[in-house]
Amino acid sequence: MYILLELCPNQSLNELLRRRKRLHELEVMYYTKQIIDSLLYLHKNRVIHRDLKLGNLFINEKLELKLGDFGLATKLDFDGERKRTICGTPNYIAPEVLEGKNGHSYEVDIWSLGVIIYTLIIGKPPFETSDVKKTYDRIRKNSYAFPDHIGISDEAKDLIQWILNNEPDNRPTLQDIIDHKFLSYDTPDQLHPSLLACPPSSSMIKKYLPADFQVTMRSMPKRLEASAPAGGRRSSQNEKNQPMTAKDELRGKRLTDLDDDENSKQTPKNGIGSSNPVASQGSADVPIHAKKWIDYTSKYGLGYILSNGSVGVFFNDATKIILECNGNKFDYYERKDREDVKQSHSLDDYPKDLIEKKVTLLAHFKSYLDQNFKKEEIEHHDSLPELIYVKKWIKTRHAKMFRLSNKVVQVYFKDKTEILL
């Protein structure tokens, strides 16, 4: 027997929220409508999912949601049947499941949907605590609040409060939710891949939402504030300072075995992005950005060269290094308490016992990138007190996205168009 599974290359809503911190309500509307479509199908066939959560909502290539993980799902044998098994994920579990006295039915999926809507807008589940028993206690008491420092529309707040009702019979039906004002606005037929890393543009929001709706959105997340390094893995502090493996492999070896067409960026003929054709001419209005890069995250990390000629590496352990153009100075960054902590050194004087391997890797990345970067491509920029470097990056099937320390967000698409934000 064979089981055919659909590939969802963009992971799940859980990973999306980790990268984005919070979603704009327009995106939440878009995803909520798709979740409802899934639940309508299940409930029509007498199936209760019972584990509806961000981690089970997968994102396919078209940024459409696919509901998965039916390990806790159950099928009702007749209308009105109540299930009594206590199951689910702590942050999303409905109060009647915890109580277990009267059983539960389709309403538990409705409850979980309310938790999902709240979580996507606010950035964390409404009943979340550091202790599962305390979380269950808050669920039983319906103890949650809307943070003052995070903007939320009246429509969203009203819908969430209606859904998160401890009495299952008082919750809205799926059709009630469809008819609610929060979902009355038009949403895009398909989201742009850039929204995997960046909030929607103001022009996109204005296209679908009225001006008075936007006023209520007081606070949105910073772009690309990822909680874990994209394109790499999180490591312990001890691992960061350990010598990198494959020392002998790298010494004296150039990275010429990598495929230029696949891994090295080629500058578009019309400059940076179709909307800014003058970018390649070194316009003073164009900020420092990545010009070329080599993706070697299978072993070491991402090497890149910026428009001002600086060369850097974003290592797989989330440390970073950036070398000034035609110079001797470099900055090395370690991740501590969710902040980049800088050490400034020179190639003649640095702690070799700690970062010699990474300086060696920087030299190899630089050697390879220099072969594909002409000096005349270096753009003039005003001098800055600190070296600009890539703080975060993410790779999808559609694009590579970079967040630089000068707050520039750069999106480079597979069709070789490009956007600077």
123: left (phi > 0), else alpha (psi -120 to 50), else beta?
Answer: left
The single residue of 37, 51, 77, 248 carrying the catalytic annotation is 51
Residue type at position 125: P
Examine the residue annotation and report whether 51 is marked as an active-site residue of this protein: yes
Kindly report the number of other CB atoms within 10 A of residue 32's CB atom: 24
d(CA 124, CA 128): 7
- The helix (run of H) or strand (run of E) holding residue 362 is helix 352-371
- Residue 371: both structure tokens together: 């072969």
In this structure, are strands 390-395 and 339-346 parallel, antiparallel, or unpaired? unpaired
Alpha carbon separation from 136 to 54, 83, 85, 181, 346 (Å, rounded): 19, 19, 16, 30, 54
Look up tokens 């019979």; give the residue: 169
Instruction: Give residue 225's Cα distance to chain centre.
Output: 8
What angle, 0 to 180 degrees and rounded to 10, lies between the N-to-C axes of helices 107-122 and 13-20? 20
In the three-class reduction of DSSP (H, G, I as helix; E, B as strand; rest coil), residue 332 is classed as strand
Look up tokens 């993410």; give the residue: 394
- Residue 254: both structure tokens together: 């150039």
Please, how many CA atoms are within 13 Å of residue 321, restricted to the half-sphere of its CB? Answer: 29
d(CA 208, CA 194): 18
343 beta partners: 332
333 beta partners: 320, 342
Q: Specify whether the CB–CB gap between 318 and 340 falls below 8 A.
A: no
331 beta partners: 322, 344
d(CA 419, CA 395): 15
Question: Which residues form the catalytic set?
Answer: 51
